[in-house]
Structure 1
Amino acid sequence: MAKQRKTSGRWKIQAAAALASNPFLLHFFSGKLYRGRLKSLCVPGLNCYSCPAAAGSCPIGSLQAVIGAPKYQVSYYIMGILLFFGVLLGRAMCGFLCPFGWFQELLHKIPTKKFGTRRLRWLTYLKYGILVLFVIVLPMTVVNEVGLADPFFCKYICPAGILEGGIPLALANESIRASLGALFTWKSCILLGVILLAVFFYRPFCKWICPLGAFYGLFHKVSLYRLSVDGEKCTACGVCSRVCGMDVDVFRHPNHAECIRCGDCIRACPHQAIQRQAPWIMNEKRSTNHG
């Protein structure tokens, strides 16, 4: 059975992050993209470049564009911003600043029976394969006659692209509607699948598919923003594990790569044994369990 999570004010940060990433809402009606200077900057979460309202670029899309360019060069800006976000916050980026992650959480609030995913933990490794194959290897090796590669993840998998870009642009632009084909149908099916899964399972795309979450998860054990468990207070009662939507045994592994730092475990702990730690958080007692 799925866990019941206490409500918090996290949604306000998520809503603000979604709006900050997509401030040009009137562009939805014109079907035109914002192409100003901000578009050269990457936002921290998964947010499609082709969304009419988007102010910045998606880091995964930008990384693929650089890797798949005719004359591949390392983009120190893109790698630097990804490393910065990863080392600073880890997958807290997913829990607070990703619009598509928030979209899944809103879907999960639809009243219906919910299901846990602990028995499907093996699927969490799929997103690492997608990161390596679709974001790095294919754009680097499968190129056309002029040496240009497709952004394979964005083009063939990413449901955020069809939700934020493909559908709004098709609705507003008749010429785009007339050119829709099999790829649009395929991506729409992926989006529909994610939507249906998100109603019954907590953040399925984040758990199993998202390469950005996979990348941030690589830095989770060393990120500056982290969780700690006070070994003197913790009784290993398992309450934190039962409320965790990402299926993390928090009292054993507080800095597991699947944790999105949502704080549900902190609010649920009957012994107040779980704490947030970061250089900017003062007067927190250090943990004897550094998981």
Structure 2
Amino acid sequence: MRGGKSRRALWQALGFVLSNSYFFKFLKYIPCPALNCYACPAANFACPIGTLQHFAVIRRIPLFTLGILGAVGSLFGRGACGWICPVGGLQELLYKAPVRKIHVSNRFSFLRFIVLAVLVFIIPFFTLEPWFSKLCFVGTLEAGIPLALGDQRIRALIGPFFWLKIGITAALMGLMLFMKRPFCRFICPLGAIYSPFNRVAPGFVTARTDLCTGCGECTRTCPMDLDVPREVNGLNCIRCRRCVGLCKALS
């Protein structure tokens, strides 16, 4: 189990480095398979959600982006969320903080589909503005803050909307101290896109209910706060496989 966690942490770190290593900027026309801000000074890839919004604004169908995301989803389901997404790694890191934890049911996970429909497609289509990107805490963290710190001219332009974004970022990161991956579970539109592919992508976890003792260890260790015997391989599963190896009922 410990070795599996270490390997996944290394993959998450590698995902962050490959997404933000600065030296492969010729890839910026390709959407990143995980959530990463295009405006980050070191970003190598385009933001997949930002790209979808751009096409909603210009009222075109983003065939290339949909093809990339469809291919990733078909091969890995939400595995990209569990293994290479920098935002997922950040949330798991913050959750290690020694504070009292709270449990919030995954019954509210439908909210990320609303975010996808409303903030990524509908509102940008009608307002001609990429509102998810404007509010996204990832953009604030990876681009807004570094750019403001590094350029006095940008700091001079800071107004109330920037501080609103700072507040959103602080609130979400505060939640990450107490809740397991709240952004992934309830907000992330990229996770909403990948979720349905969990039904068809390879890499299923086999759960044998006849061998389950009901100890709950798999559920306690799940980074998505799933009821693992019931929800593994479902729309909220990120294919991290942390539950595998905990007991003989999972493989």
TM-score bucket of the superposed structures, by smaller chain: over 0.9
Q: Output the CA distance in 2 between the equivalents of 1:167 and 1:273.
A: 46
CA separation in 2, counterparts of 1:114 and 1:254? 22
CA distance in 2, matches of 1:41, 1:7: 29
**Aligned equivalents of 2:153, 2:110: Cα separation in 1:** 40
- Per the TM alignment, residue 105 of structure 1 is displaced from its structure 2 partner at its CA by 1.2
User: C-alpha offsets along residues 77-122 of structure 1, whole Å, 9 cap, x if unaligned?
Assistant: 101011111111111111111111111111111222222223xx33
1:124 paired residue number: 109
The residue that corresponds to 1:138 in the other structure is 123
- Choose the corresponding residue for 1:183, options 155, 161, 167: 161
Residue pair 1:59, 1:78 contacting (<8 A) in 2 also = yes
Greater displacement, 15-24 / 237-246: 237-246
Q: CA deviation at 1:254?
A: 2.2
Q: Distance in 1 between matches of 2:8 and 2:157?
A: 40
Question: C-alpha deviations, 1:183-227, integer Å up to 9, x for none?
Answer: 111111010001111111111111111111111112211112322
Tell me the distance in 1 between the aligned counterparts of 2:102 and 2:6: 21
Structure 2 CA distance for aligned equivalents of residues 117 and 273 of structure 1:
25
After TM superposition, the runs of 4+ consecutive aligned structure 1 residues lying more than 4 A away are none
Q: Is the 8 A contact 1:89 1:226 kept in 2?
A: no
Q: Structure 1 or 2: larger helix share?
A: 2
Q: Where do 5+ consecutive residues of structure 1 fail to align?
A: 1-5, 26-33, 143-148, 276-291
Equivalent residue for 2:14?
16
Mapped to 2, the partners of 1:180 and 1:210 lie a distance apart of 26
Task: Give 5+ residue unaligned stretches, structure 2.
Answer: none
Give the equivalent residue in structure 1 for 2:219.
Answer: 241
Counterpart residue number, 1:91 = 78
Q: CA deviation at 1:237?
A: 4.5
Tell me whether 1:52 sits opposite 2:34 in the alignment.
no
CA drift at 1:7: 4.2
Tell me how far apart the structure 1 counterparts of residues 188 and 46 of structure 2 sit (CA, whole Å). 16
TM-score by structure 2 length?
0.92
Matched residue pairs, number?
A: 248
Cα distance in 2 between the residues matched to 1:49 and 1:244: 30
- CA change 1:82–1:51 in 2 (3 A) is same
Distance 1:197 1:267 in 2: 29
Of 183-192 and 246-255, more deviation after overlay is shown by 246-255
Residue correspondence of structure 1 range 17-166 to structure 2 within 5 A: 17-24=15-22, 36-69=25-58, 72-118=59-105, 121-142=106-127, 149-156=128-135, 158-166=136-144
What secondary structure does 1:104 align onto?
A: helix
Q: Deviations over 1:30-88 (max 9, x none)?
A: xxxx8x4211011111100000010011111111111111xx22121101011111111
Q: Name the aligned partner's letter for residue 22 of structure 2.
A: F
- The CA RMSD over aligned residues, in Å, is 1.8
SS at match of 2:110: helix
The percentage of counterpart residues that share the same residue type is 41
